[in-house]
Amino acid sequence: MATASNAPRLKVLVYSDDSSVRQQVILALGRRPHPDLPEVEYVEVATEPVVIQNMDAGGIALAILDGEAAPVGGMGIAKQLKDEIYHCPPILVLTGRPQDAWLATWSRAEAAVPHPLDPIQLAEAVVGLLRPRVPAGE
């Protein structure tokens, strides 16, 4: 049985130019968004080049991208990642409002959650995207 120090973790990249948005996401999800999932390790990113660098390096189980980030929004980054990374991990885009969910479809993101963030809606979306990535018995 894995101990807390060597237990598998899921790396979740959280991108926003606004540190308060990154903190909202991390606080809403916590260390373990669902009892069926391993602990989450967050990779906080404030710029588009660092998102690309982290995603190219691999090991990211899920990317949460702020569609309202500036100067590069999360939807454009999502589309680029889906176009350029073979077997790209799932992407969740934070949209400016519920009506913008159709834009997430254009970006090929697997899920979208609108601002202001609802912790329950965010957790449900994240768990839905991470659960298939966890091998049975973890």
- pLDDT single digits (tens) 117-130: 999 999 999 999 99
- Residue 134 burial (CB count, 10 A): 15
The DSSP call for residue 67 is T
Q: Give helix 48-57 / helix 74-84 axis angle, nearest 10°.
A: 30
Predicted local confidence at residue 136, as pLDDT: 57
Q: What is the largest CA-CA distance in the chain?
A: 45
Residue with tokens 């598998």, as numbered in its chain: 8
**Separation CA 104–CA 72 (nearest Å):** 15
Predicted local confidence at residue 5, as pLDDT: 52
Predicted local confidence at residue 50, as pLDDT: 98
Give, in order, the Cα–Cα distances in Å from 46 to each of 32, 41, 134: 23, 17, 27
Predicted local confidence at residue 2, as pLDDT: 44
Predicted local confidence at residue 118, as pLDDT: 96
Parts of the chain with a pLDDT under 70: 1-7, 135-138
In CATH, the number for domain 9-132 is 3.40.50.2300
